[in-house]
Structure 1
Amino acid sequence: MPDIFDEVNEDLRAERARRLLQRYGGLLVVAVVLVVAGAGGWQAWKWYQARETDRIATIFLRGIDAAGGPPGEARKQALVDFAEVVRDGGTGYRTLARLREAALKADTGDLAGAEDLWRQVADDSGAEKLLRDLAVLQSVLHQIDAGDPAALAARLKPLASPDNPWHALAEEVQALLDIRQGNKDAARDTLKRLAQDVTAPDGVRGRANGLLARLGE
């Protein structure tokens, strides 16, 4: 008897499967096609992303080479290249391109254009904090002669924290601000600290000693 029941159950399952296939067979085929297409689409998307990353990297490096050339058409091309990377690149390349484009604009006298780019980097929450802080530092440095001292000092303050990688440079710029405002004692204190700071870059320590000599120390 168990064998008969087993055979009946098998027949019922086969009949049910046949009916399901007749009723939903088309949908099953579509589902299989979509799964296969989805897998193929994902591979195609990965291939496209890799190719696009290579393209952006090539444009960025071409821009760097052009920026290092003499003023003229080469630097104009560099600005075009960096602008394209900013438009089409991912966060990392976009941030680097903005910084390079800003530096190039500053070198050619377009401080307003450079400041706009530094602000974009500083305000970009998706960018690396190290690069955002660098943008702030560059912005303040290029306004050292004409910017509002209090506003510039406020922007420098977070960067001057000992745990910030840019703290030595930020303190150096703060000392320059103090000198500009006639606060020579404050400038001397900062410069002495920098001159003795073994963790500060050699260039910063050398400039600190040079400024101290000019201040009569």
Structure 2
Amino acid sequence: MSEDNIFREVDEELRSDRMRALWRRFAPVVIGAAVGVVAIVALNEGWTWYHANNASQSSDELYASFALIDGGDLAGAQTQLDTLIADGSGSYPLLAQFRKAGVLAKEGNVAGAVAAYDTLSNTLSNTRLRELALVLGGTLMVDAGTLADVESRVGSIAAEGSPLRNAAREALGLAQYKAGDFAAAKASFEAVINDPMVQSSTRNRIGYYLAQLLSEGAIVAGPAATEADAAATAIDEIVSDEAPAAETPAVVAPAPETPAADAPAATPEAAPAAQ
């Protein structure tokens, strides 16, 4: 055996010894880290499954409450929603709170419904959901409260830039109309009419309000009022079934036939007198 081979074998043995020593030193750390990664993945998968299972159950409970509401069992729906609010998973308890407030309003407990919406608006961190609660509460206060009650809830939402601005303007305009401030009501309604993003159904409904103000002599006819009057007329026709599905075509008198070349010309006495 040559001297080079001996040195190579000794070097390999030394390297092997060093590797075994390093493994004995760091093996617990490596194995522990691997076990930790596996445990974290298992816990994450387990939590995901648990959360999805609970969310599915909460979804079923929410739809069960909807079925009770549709069936007229409002008391049973309230119990179902209270259970979901207390024990639900995900965003379903929040949806249940909104629905519970709607059930209270449907039962005639407007004060309780407004209080529920006010609680949501004061506790929610999501700006859009908070605005939704304010608009829903403000809409109920149109009939149950004063103009100040409505303004305190929807006044800031009626500004440009809010996705719920037109719903807020509608509630504000109705409250102003109820309070006798017709000029302010007109301004609120026209802000909805002139919004290019407003839906056609909302535009027609607001047009009906403006047409009512116009018919009462509370406002002066203008471009918006003319458009509103046309929208109100269209709605009246739909509601009262005055618009026929298909109009009977008018009977058109046939055009006089061109006389043949060999036919004698009609004399003045033969032509019928115009009726």
Given that residues 123 and 132 in structure 1 are in contact (C-alpha distance below 8 angstroms), is that contact kept between their aligned partners in structure 2?
yes
Q: How far does the alpha carbon of each residue in 1:155-174 deviate from its partner, in whole angstroms, 9 at most, with x for none?
A: 21222124333222222221
Is the partner of 1:158 in helix, strand or coil? coil
Q: Please identify the structure whose Cα radius of gyration is greater.
A: 2
Q: Compute the displacement of 1:11 (Å).
A: 2.5
Whether 1:19 and 2:17 are equivalent positions in the alignment is: no
Is residue 2:116 matched to residue 1:117? yes
Of residues 36, 39, 42 in structure 2, which corresponds to 1:37?
39
Contact 2:138 2:149 in 1 (8 A): no
Q: Shift of residue 123 of structure 1?
A: 3.2
Instruction: Report the alpha carbon displacement of residue 27 of structure 1 after superposing the two structures with TM.
Output: 5.1
Distance 1:176 1:62 in 2: 35
Distance 2:122 2:7 in 1: 74
Give the partner amino acid of 1:14. Answer: S
The match for 2:79 is: 80
Aligned to 1:68: 70
The equivalences for 1:1-217 within 5 A come to 6-23=8-25, 25-26=27-28, 28-70=30-72, 74-87=73-86, 88-91=88-91, 93-127=92-126, 129=128, 131-192=129-190, 194=192, 199-200=198-199, 201-202=202-203, 204-205=205-206, 207-209=208-210, 211-212=212-213, 215-216=216-217
Contact 1:102 1:114 in 2 (8 A): yes
Q: Displacement of 1:210 after TM fit?
A: 5.6
The residue type paired with residue 173 of structure 1 is: A
How many Å apart are 1:147 and its aligned residue?
3.4
- Which structure is higher in helix share? 1
Deviation of residue 104 (structure 1)? 0.2
Once the 2 structures are TM-superposed, how far is the Cα of residue 187 of structure 1 from its aligned partner?
2.0
Measured in 2, the distance between the counterparts of 1:2 and 1:156 equals: 92
Partner secondary structure for residue 82 of structure 1: helix
Quote the Cα distance in structure 1 between the aligned partners of 2:43 and 2:209. Answer: 58
Contact 2:68 2:76 in 1 (8 A): yes
Between the aligned residues of both structures, percent identity stands at 25
Gaps of 5+ in 2: 219-275
Q: Which runs of 5+ in 1 are unaligned?
A: none
AA partner of residue 50 (structure 1): A
Give the Cα–Cα distance (whole angstroms) in 1 for the partners of residues 190 and 45 of structure 2: 59
SS in 2 for 1:43: helix
Please state how far the C-alpha of 1:121 moved relative to its aligned partner. Answer: 2.9
Structure 1 residue 6: deviation in Å? 4.9
* 4+ runs deviating over 6 angstroms: none
Q: Tell me: higher relative CO, structure 1 or 2? Use CA pairs within 8 A at least 6 residues apart.
A: 1
Give me the TM-score of the superposition, normalised by structure 2.
0.63
Across the two proteins, how many residue pairs are aligned to each other? Answer: 212
